[in-house]
Every structure is written in C-alpha cells, then in structure tokens.
A and B are shown apart, each in its own frame.
Chain A
Amino acid sequence: MTPNTHERINSVVRALSEVVLPHLPPEASLAQEQVHLCIGHLKILGAQLDAIPGYEREELDDAIAIAKALSGISGGSETQAAQTALAASVDAADGSDVRAQRQAINIAVETLVHATSADGDEQSKTALTAIILEYEHARAQKDRAWFAPFGFDTL
C-alpha cells in the first residue's frame, strides 16, 4: 500500500497555507504571490488527478480523429508525402505514450497544412480549413472546461 496521493497533495497545500504563508513577512510579496499560486495549482492538480489519464487519452483520440478526417486531402507530391507521414503517425498511435503520440500526429498535421498550401488541390484547401475548424472547436471547448478552474476563463 502506498500513501494516498490526494492526502499527500492536501498535506502540502495545508502546510503552505497554514504554516508557510502566515510566516512570510509582509514585504515578501513575490514569495506570498508564489505560495498562493502553488496552493491554487496544487488544489486543481489534486482535483483533476484521477481524470488526467482519461483526459490525455481523449486528447490522443481527438488527434487521431482529426488525422483520419484529413485523410481525403489531396494534392501534389508535397501533400502526398505529408499524407503518408500522417498515416504513419496514426498507425503508430497505440496509446502506449499518449503525449508523444499526440504530439507526433499534431506535427504531421502541421506538415500537411503547409504542404496543402503549397501544392494541395483547391477543393482540399477549403476542406482542410473546414475540418480543422470543426475538430478544433470541439477540442478547444474541452480544453477550456478543463482549465476553467484556473479562473481566467469565462466559459
């Protein structure tokens, strides 16, 4: 049995809030600011801890979905090469390393975006924009909701 992660985070938050913060002198403004940020950050991390693997897996699934939706984008040799690389990045995405695999797909999509601008079919250029806007709209809503506890967003 390992110590409960939530209890460990909560104990750090309590130490920072009730022991460290009250003992900082009023002139230690930077230290006070940063302790407050640490407490806030840790509380959110604690609240999201159990959901993080699912969130990151969903990010990868969404990257795979947009890559597949873009598979019909066609054009000259540059676009074709980018499509081949994108397909390979999707094939390699077995979920064993969700962050690296998501990043690899996103890099391949970026290459496809630039390639399509260079030698993609006119229809494909329009379709690529529409697909990215549709999928990224949905992804951005999920990300905004995920980071809303940080207090910047008005979602």
Chain B
Amino acid sequence: MTTTVEMESIYKKILDRRTANRDLPPYRAALSSEITDLLAGFFKKEKPGATVSGVRRVGGGASKEQFFFTLSEAGQDEQYLLRMDPRIAITETDREREHILLQAMDGVVPVPKTAWVDPNAEFFPQSAAIMHVVDGVTKPSDAGVKVTGLGTWLGEDLRAKLRDQFLDYLVAIHAFDWRSANLPTFEAPDADPKQAARWSFNYWREIWRLDEGETRPIMALAEQWLANNMPDCDDLCLTHGDYRTGNYLFEEDTGRITALLDWELARIGDFHEDLGWVLMQIFGTIENGTFRASDLFEREEFIREYEKRSGRTVNRKTLHYYDILSSWKAYIIVGANGPAAARSQHNHQDVLLTFLSTTIPMFADDLVRLLGQEEPQ
C-alpha cells in the first residue's frame, strides 16, 4: 500500500516497488552469457545489424549489476556499460530519473552519457540503463597504502590535483538552474521552509520501517531529534545525494576528473545535506590525527572554501542537523536496507551486504558523538 507519509512522489513509488519485489522469488547474479543474449536481443530491435561482444562484469560497487560490453556497427566499435538494478538494492532508486538528470547535467559538470534506458524493465529483467564508457578510476592503483579510515586514500599529489575540481563541481551542481531545466519527476519541496528536511527524513524513516531495521536506543534518539529539529531551507538547490571520493572517475596521471558518478539519490533540497554527507568521517581519512573529508579537505577548510566559492553562507546549526541525518541515513543503508536485500535473497551480492553491515557500530558511535555535541547557534 502506498505510504501516506509526505515525501516526493517518486520515492513513494520506489517504496511501493520495494514492497512488491519482496514477494518475488530469489534473485541470482546474471551470467555474462545471459547478459550477452539479452543485449543481443535488445540491439536487434534498437540497432539492427549491430553486434554485441566482450561482455564482462564490472567489479566493486554495492548497488547495481554492471557489465562492460562492445557494440560493433559498420566496422566501428564502441564501449558501453550496462547498469541494471538487482531485485532489491542497498539503495533503491529510479533509473529513469537518473537518466533525466544525467542528460540535464551534461555540459554543466562531467557526467557519463546515457545511451538507452529501460526504466520499467520492459526488456531487461530489472530496470536498466546503458551508458557510454568514461575513462578513469575511482581510486589510485596504490590505494592499498591507506593511512586509516574507510575512505579512499589519495595521497598528496592526487589530493592537490583533485581538490579544487571536487569542490568546484559541487558548487556548480548547487548553482544549477533546476527551475529552468526540464526535470520531470523532480519535485520541489517549496510548500513551507521545512519541507526539504521533512521529505528526506520521512523517506528514510519509512524505508527503515519497511526494511525492519532493528532499533537501538541511539537510533530512536536520533530519529526523534531529527523529527523535532528540522531546519528551514530558503535556498533550494539541486543536491547530488552521494558526493564523495569514490563516486567520481579521474585520470590517474593528470588527476583530471572525467565523470561524477552515482546521481541516483539526487533531489531538490538543501545544500547542507550534501555538505553533511561529504563531511562524514567514514568517507574520509585520518592521518596523524587529522581528519580529511574525502581525503581532500579538513572540515573547517572545506566549509570555508565552499562559502568562498559558492557565495553561500553555511548555517552551522543546519549543517549540524545534516551531519546527524547523514549518520542516521548511513546506519539505515548498511543496517536495514542492505540486510533486508540479503535476507530476502533478492540481491546479487548478499555476502557483501552482510559484510558492510558490520560498519553499523561506527555510525552508532557517530550519532553518540554528534548528539552529544553542543548545538551550534
């Protein structure tokens, strides 16, 4: 049954889909040969005469099933990426919405280009998108030489090359004129100043309940605090939703960012929500006791530079709210969404999802630390 809780319409549909998919039979990882057959059938209709070859699975990632392949036509080879939802994912999102946004952001910031999309799984077993391949890596090849932390360690040289681009692109996303853009399914939370925070909070609380997250006192306290302290937002902007090192591609030799990835959680909302996510300790590194967000900026340095480059003022009280929301949301993702997908056997990498769920105590501890801080004024 569709939730009656107030949130963006697309997220109600996503919750409905997640509920409906729970009753489906178990899902298993697709074989490359099956994907080859699927793609061959798809292109027989879309591009008669084109041939598919070299289908190979892309490693890494905790959310989508992804395959590289070559499409050959009239003596020309082109590399593509098939990005397909599992039956239930650790983050449940919408392929068409992502496709719409990637088209809108093309030319604004570097993004992968979508070639085809099958949003309602009319052809592929689950909703899917086919993208042009972009060169680049998400982490340096010597990332094993990590200092500490879950985040990717970039090292001094890459850090110097990447940090300005990272911040400038975030500023550009937040400056994007979404009101003039054609963004069907994107709704603006402009009914009242608290609607941006409320929509986000409501969605994550609903999916926490839907996925039967096992509560504990700190999660209950955080939920109540977030419900009682929603900030106003009078400067709605496009937010990326998962902006951090690991979610962009870069050339290892030059340090040039070639594409910003994983736009699936993007929405119209409060820019502080992106800042809170970027600044999460778990996505950063700690070297000699110094924390660096995404291994690029120290916290205060990031806030100062963001203000300078965006012309916006970071409201410390609002940022505190989104710091807490970020840790609460991350707890829900690894502690409820991932385990629910694994429990229902509706994902292609259950063992990774249960492995990731062992990070729960880190987010619980983050919430203790943040809720124990004196609230900024």
Contact = CB atoms under 8 A, between A and B. Distances in A.
Interface of A: 27, 29-30, 32-34, 37-38, 40-41, 66, 103, 106-107, 109-110, 113-114, 117, 128-129, 132-133, 135-137, 139-141, 143-144, 146-147, 150, 152-154
B221 A132 contact: yes
A119 to B, nearest CB: 13
10 contacts: A30-B348, A32-B59, A33-B349, A41-B354, A66-B217, A103-B214, A128-B221, A133-B368, A136-B221, A137-B368
Contact of B351 (A41, A106, A146): A41
B365 A144 contact: yes
Contact of B352 (A37, A135, A139): A37
Given A29-B57, A33-B59, A114-B224, A136 B286 contact: no
A150 B358 contact: yes
A107 B148 CA distance: 35
A33 B352 contact: yes
Contacts of A139: 216, 364
Q: Looking at A30, A33, A144, which has the most chain B CB atoms within 10 Å of its CB?
A: A30
A154 B361 contact: no
Given A109-B217, A137-B368, A30 B349 contact: yes
B173 interface: no
B368 A140 contact: yes
Interface residues of B, number: 40
A109 B360 contact: no
Interface in B72-117: none
B134 to A, nearest CB: 19
Interface in B31-55: 32
Contacts of B362: 144, 152-153
Contacts of B286: 154
Interface of B is mostly: helix
Contacts of B184: none
Contact of B228 (A38, A117, A136, A150): A117
Contacts of A137: 365, 368, 372
Contacts of A110: 215, 217, 219-220
B281 to A, nearest CB: 9
Contacts of A154: 148-149, 286
B161 interface: no
B12 interface: no
A30 B367 CA distance: 33
Given A29-B57, A107-B215, 11 more contacts: A27-B56, A30-B349, A38-B351, A41-B351, A41-B355, A103-B214, A132-B217, A135-B217, A136-B217, A144-B362, A147-B359
Q: Is the interface of A mostly helix, strand, loop or mixed?
A: helix
B5 to A, nearest CB: 15
Contacts of A40: 355
B150 interface: yes
B361 A147 contact: yes
Nearest to B355: A37
Nearest to B29: A30
B218 interface: yes
B59 A30 contact: yes
A150 B215 contact: no
A152 B217 CA distance: 23
Contacts of A106: 214-217, 220
Nearest to B285: A154
Interface in B222-266: 223-224, 227-228
A40 B349 CA distance: 15
A44 B148 CA distance: 20
A37 to B, nearest CB: 5
A4 to B, nearest CB: 24
A143 B364 contact: yes
B358 A152 contact: yes
Contacts of A146: 361
Of the listed residues B217, B218, B352, the one surrounded by the most CB atoms of chain A closer than 10 A to its CB is: B217
Nearest to A136: B218
